[in-house]
Structure 1
Amino acid sequence: MAFTYSDLKPGELRLLRPVSIREGTFMSLEMAQFERKRAPPYIAVSYTWGEENDMVTLRLNGRNFSVRRNLWFCLTYLSFHAQHSKARYLWVDAICINQGNIPERNAQVRVMDEIYKNAHCVSIWLGLDPDLEFYKPWIEGSVMTLDLDSFDKVTRLADHEYWSRYWVIQECLLARDIQIHCGRSMMSWADFQEALSLEANLRLLAPAGDSVITEMLDTKKHDALPLLLARNPTDGFSQRPLEELIIHHRHSRCKDPRDRVFALLGLIEDWERKSLERYFPNYSLSHDGVVVITLAHLRELNSTSVTLKSQKLFQGLGVESNERQRRLIAAAEDCPYYIGYDDEIIMSDEARQDRARYMGWDDGLEINQYEEVVEDGLQMSDNMSSGVYRCNIL
C-alpha cells in the first residue's frame, strides 16, 4: 500500500528517522511531524534530484514510497552517518514536503531558509565517486559500499552539477555547518574551501566587488566558486541586497527561471524581504511578471537605474533578448507599484536607520521622520489600484 501524507500544520515540519538500511536492497524510514521551533537536531540534505524516470521504492512508515535513485544512494550513506551523529533525523525536501499539495509546497518554500538555517548541519551529497558513475549501469548495489581512496578529486567535485543549481545557494549559505559527502567519504566545508582556493589562487577574504573576484566569476573556472566566495571562511554568510545576489550568482542554473529570484529571498536583508514577500514566492506569476516586480523593486527601493546596459542583472534574471529587456523595463516603469511596509510591521530603530541609509535618506533625520516618509508612501499606494497585477504582461 502506498504512503499517504497527513496534513502539516502551520509552523510544523516533517523529519525522517532511518530505521533499517540494507545496502542496495532495502531501506525503511519513519517520518514524524514536529514544530519547527521544538524540532530535535536534524541534518538538512542538499542534493540534486536526479533523473525523473529512474525511481526506486523504499518503505516510509511501513508503506511504499518512490524516490529517485540519486536520493536512494544519498539516504543510504547519510543514514549510516546519522547513526554516529548528534542529529539522528534527516530533512529532505522531496519526501518531507508533500510535492502534490501545492498550498503546502508554497508554504514550505516560504520557510525553506529557516529549515536550513536551523539545521544542526547541512549535508551536501555529491553522489558516488565520479570514477564509478560511468560503470554504475553494470554494477549491482555493491557500488554503494566502495570508498574513495582519498578526497584528492576536490577540483573535479567542484564542477559537479550540484553547484550550478539555484536552490543550493540558499542551502549552502545559510547553514550553520556544512559537510560534503561523496560516497562514503566526507569533507568539511572549511577543508573544501581551502583546497579549492589554493588550486584557484583565490583570496577568500577579498571584499565584495573586488576585481579579482569579478574576473574569477566571469571565467567560470569552477561551478563551486560563487558559493565559496559568498560564504566567508570565518563568519559564514551575511545578508546581501537582492541586486548584488542576482548578479553574483548569475551563472547558476535552474529549471524554472522564476527561481532566480525566489531562491534568493532567504538571503536578503529582512526589511528588503518584507517588501517583497507580499508578492513572492508565487508560482502563478509568469517569468515576465516576476522580472517586472523585481525591476520595480530595485527602482523604488534601491534606486537602481535599470537600462539595456544592465546586462549582468538581466543575465541573472534569465532575460537574454534586448527586445524583451526593453519591454520589461518599460513595463516596470509604468507599473503602479510601491515598496513599503504593512502598518502592523514594527521595525527597530537600528533597522529603520539601516534602511534609511540604504535608500539614501538623510542620516540627520529623526526616526519618526523616517516613519513619516514610509507612511506617506503607503498612503500614496493606498490611493492607487491594486498594483502590479494591472501590468499588461501579467
Structure 2
Amino acid sequence: MNNMLKDGDVFGYRPLPSPTYIRLLRILSRYDEPIRCSLETVDLCNEPRYHALSYTWGDPLSNSSSSPNSGNTNHSSPARKRILCDGHDLSLTATDNLLAVIGELSTNPKFSDGIFRSREDLIWIDAICINQKNASEKNVQIAMMDRIYKNAETVIIWLGPRDNETSMALEVMRQIIEIPAQKASNQKFTSSIGDEEIYQTLDIPYIEPYQWQAYASFLQRTWFSRIWVVQEAFFARKIHVILGTEILKWSDITSAARFLRDTNLGTLLMNHTAKDLGENYVRNILTNVYIFERMRERIDSMNLEWLLTNSRFFDATYSQDKVIAILGLWKESSRRQGRPPGALHPDCTLSVEEVYTQAAWTCIQEMGDLNILSLVEDASFRKAKSLPSWVPDFSVGSQPHPLAGNPRPAIGNQRWDASCALEWNMPVPKLEAILPVYSVQIDTIVDFAATQPEILEHYDVTSLLRILRDCSTTADPYQGNCIDAFWRTLIKDTFREEPADLRARELFQWLIIMRVWELQTGIQQFRERSDPNIDPLDPYYVENARQLELYNMTQQLLSEVSRIYGKSEVIPDWSTIQEKIRSVEALVDGSTEATDLGRDYDDISEAFRIAYGGRRLFKTKKGLLGISAQSLARGDTICVIAGVNVPFVVRKLQKEGYWKLIGEAYIHGIMNGEVFKEEDVVRQSIYLE
C-alpha cells in the first residue's frame, strides 16, 4: 500500500487502515548511495517478518565521559545528513544518531550475516514508522509497542559509535563474564576497586582503575538510561547489540552487571568513579542494566507502583513518558496475573500533572492502600511544581528513599504499621487532584536540624546536638531514654538492612567523631596558613573563620550534652573524641584494624545516608523525635493516615479542611500504632491537595 502523499519534496503519511496496522521500513541504500528507503504498511495480525530497532533519539554518548574516536570517522558520525523515503525528503524526522545506525545497517557487510540483509529485510523504527505529528496515531501505536517488539524477529539495540575506550571496556567485561561462578560465590568486596586482594581472590589479572573507568563509561551510554528501551529489551525474543562495528551479546552485558551487583564490585566502581567525575556521572552505571533482567524475573508479579518506582532511574525527553513507557509491561504482567490492567492508557495530549495524577489513582486502586504517598519526594526536588502534593513526581529520582523501601515487603512482613487502628476505605475523589484521607493528628513541629549536605559536607552537627540537649528541657515521651531515641531516629532504626542492634549503637559515635576530626583538620590547616595581613573579607578567610566558630560551638554543645546525659558511648565527650582521633591517626594503612574500622564506618554512614538523605531531624511540642522531608517547617503537623504504614508531616492550608503533604516520617515511638493507646486521639477526615 502506498504511504506517500504528493506534497512537493517532503514526505507525507497516509492514515493507517486500522489499529492493528503498522508501517515497516525497507532500506534500499548501498555503499555509495545516499540513504534511501521505502515504507510498507502491514497488518500485525498477519505475523509479518521484521526487525525492530532500539536506539536513542539524541546523542548516544551524552551520559558518557568518552568521545567518538576521531580516527574512526566512518562510525563516529553519520556520513550523510539526508534520508529519502519513497523519493521524498524525510530528513526532519531522522536524528543524527538514527542516520548513523541506518548507515551502518545499510553499508556495513558485517551486519548482513544473520542480522540484517538490507533490501531483503524490513525494520520498524519509531521515528519513521509512526507519524510523529499525529497525536491520535501516536497514542494507538504507543499502546501496541509491546506487541511490536514482541513480534519482531530480532530487536537490534544500537548503543552508538565506537569511542576511544570501547576496546578497553569490552576487555574488562570479557574478564568479568569469564570468572567461574564458584570464584564469586558469597563474595562481598568492601575495600576499593584498586585492592589487589580482590583480583587474587577472583584469580584474574589486575584491572587498572583507568580500565574500570572505561567500562563505567560504556555503561553510561545514553541507551542504558532511556525509559523507552526498558520495554523494547524486555519484549524482545532475540537481541543483537551493535556498538559501532562490534556485535555484542545482550547476555554478556547483563551477566557482567549481575556479577558486579552480587559481589559489591559495582558499588566500589561507582564510588571510585564518583570521586573523579561527580555523582551525576555514575548514577546509572549498574542499576539500570540490572533492572532489565529484574523485570524479566518479576513479570508474573509486577504492579504499576513497582514499575513507576523503577522508571525514576531512567530518563525521558517528555516527562509523561515515565508513565507511558512502562504501560506495556504493566499490561503484560496484569494479563499473566489474570486481572484487568485498569483504565490507564497512553495519551500524548495530556499534561504531566494529568498523567501522574491518573497513575497515582490507578496505583491506589490496584494496591488497595495509600502507600503510594510514601513515594512523594521532598518539594525541593520536584520539577512538576503544580502537581498535587500527594502525587509523586516520577520525573525525578526518589529523594528521600521511601522508609519501608520499594518493592514493598510482603503482606505480614511490614516493619511498621503506624495506622493499624484506623480503618481504611477506598477513597472516592472529590476532584481528581484532591485526595480525601482519614487521619489522626498527633503533634506539631517546634524545632528542626540541618540537612544531610550541611552535616556531611560542612561538618555541622551543632543543630543535631542542640535538639538532643533541649530534649532535657521539654516533655519526655521517652522516659529518660532520649539518647536512644536520638540515634535510632537518625538511622530510621535500621542498620545493615535489619532493625538496629547494639552494634549500630556502638558505631554511631563515629558519625560525630568524624565530623569533629574533619573540622579539626581544616582548622589546623587554616591556622598553619594564617596571615596577619589577610583581608577579613577574603572568601578563604571567611569560610575558615566560620569553620573555626563551628568547631568551638561543637565542642561547647558536646560538653553540655555530656553534662546533661552523663558519659555516653553514643555521644562521646570531648576528651574521648580526641582520644579516638589519635588512635585512628596511629593506625597503619591496610592493617586489619584500619580495614575493619573503615568497613564499620562505611556501614553506619550508609545507614545514616539512606535514612537522612532528603530529610532532616525534627522535634515536636510533646518531645517526639523524627525525621521527615527537609522542606518541613515549624508549625507543620505530624499525623498518621489510614491506609499507610508510616506517619506523615502535613501543612494546613487556608481553605478549611485542606492540607498539603510534606512527606513521610520516621517518628520514634509511634511507628507501630502506639499513639492509639492515648485517650485523647481525635480521628478526622481531611483533604490533601
Q: Normalising by the residue count of structure 1, what TM-score does the alignment of the two structures yield?
A: 0.66
Within 2, Cα distance between the matches of 1:287 and 1:233?
Answer: 25
State whether residues 344 and 362 of structure 2, in contact with CA within 8 Å, keep that contact through their aligned partners in structure 1.
no
Within 2, Cα distance between the matches of 1:73 and 1:219?
Answer: 25
Quick one: which of 11, 14, 39 aligns to 1:31? 39
Residue 311 of structure 1 and its aligned partner are, at CA, apart by: 3.8
Q: How does 1:64-103 map to 2 (within 5 A)?
A: 64-66=89-91, 67-79=94-106, 80=108, 83-85=112-114, 88-103=121-136
**Structure 1's 82 and 270: CA in aligned 2 closer, same or farther, altered over 3 A?**
farther
> 1:225: which partner in 2?
287
Within 2, Cα distance between the matches of 1:226 and 1:258?
Answer: 19
> 2:652: which partner in 1?
none
> 1:385: which partner in 2?
none
**Structure 1's 296 and 149: CA in aligned 2 closer, same or farther, altered over 3 A?**
closer
State whether residues 52 and 124 of structure 2, in contact with CA within 8 Å, keep that contact through their aligned partners in structure 1.
yes
Say whether 1:20 aligns with 2:29: yes
Residue type of the partner of 2:253? Answer: F
**Structure 1's 225 and 89: CA in aligned 2 closer, same or farther, altered over 3 A?**
farther
State whether residues 124 and 181 of structure 1, in contact with CA within 8 Å, keep that contact through their aligned partners in structure 2.
yes
> 2:389: which partner in 1?
326
Q: Specify the SS of the correspondent of 2:357.
A: helix
Give 1 or 2 for the bigger CA radius of gyration: 2
Residue 219 of structure 1 and its aligned partner are, at CA, apart by: 11
Residue 246 of structure 1 and its aligned partner are, at CA, apart by: 1.1
> 1:284: which partner in 2?
349
> 1:262: which partner in 2?
324
Q: Deviations over 1:359-384 (max 9, x none)?
A: xxxxxxxxxxxxxxxxxxxxxxxxxx
Quick one: which of 299, 305, 308 aligns to 2:370? 305
Quick one: which of 246, 250, 253 aligns to 1:185? 246
Say whether 1:174 aligns with 2:174: no
> 2:170: which partner in 1?
151
Which runs of 5 or more residues in structure 2 are unaligned?
1-8, 60-77, 172-213, 265-279, 393-426, 434-687
> 2:182: which partner in 1?
none
> 2:304: which partner in 1?
242
Quick one: which of 40, 48, 56 aligns to 2:81? 56
**Structure 1's 109 and 160: CA in aligned 2 closer, same or farther, altered over 3 A?**
same
Residue type of the partner of 1:177? Answer: K
Within 2, Cα distance between the matches of 1:77 and 1:259?
Answer: 28
> 1:367: which partner in 2?
none
Within 2, Cα distance between the matches of 1:236 and 1:123?
Answer: 24
State whether residues 231 and 237 of structure 1, in contact with CA within 8 Å, keep that contact through their aligned partners in structure 2.
no
Q: Normalising by the residue count of structure 2, what TM-score does the alignment of the two structures yield?
A: 0.39
**Structure 1's 149 and 65: CA in aligned 2 closer, same or farther, altered over 3 A?**
farther
Within 2, Cα distance between the matches of 1:188 and 1:111?
Answer: 26
Residue 70 of structure 1 and its aligned partner are, at CA, apart by: 0.9
Q: Specify the SS of the correspondent of 1:334.
A: coil
State whether residues 98 and 104 of structure 1, in contact with CA within 8 Å, keep that contact through their aligned partners in structure 2.
yes
> 1:43: which partner in 2?
51
Residue type of the partner of 1:78? Answer: L
> 2:257: which partner in 1?
196
Within 2, Cα distance between the matches of 1:99 and 1:219?
Answer: 31
Q: Deviations over 1:100-152 (max 9, x none)?
A: 222211111111111111111211111111229xxxxxxxxxxxxxx968833
> 1:105: which partner in 2?
138
State whether residues 122 and 175 of structure 1, in contact with CA within 8 Å, keep that contact through their aligned partners in structure 2.
yes
Residue 327 of structure 1 and its aligned partner are, at CA, apart by: 5.3
Within 2, Cα distance between the matches of 1:97 and 1:179?
Answer: 23
**Structure 1's 222 and 150: CA in aligned 2 closer, same or farther, altered over 3 A?**
closer
> 1:352: which partner in 2?
none
Within 2, Cα distance between the matches of 1:122 and 1:236?
Answer: 21
> 1:294: which partner in 2?
359
Residue type of the partner of 1:17? Answer: R
Which runs of 5 or more residues in structure 1 are unaligned?
133-146, 204-217, 338-391
Residue type of the partner of 2:217? Answer: R
Q: Deviations over 1:160-211 (max 9, x none)?
A: 11211111111111111222111110101111112333344459xxxxxxxx
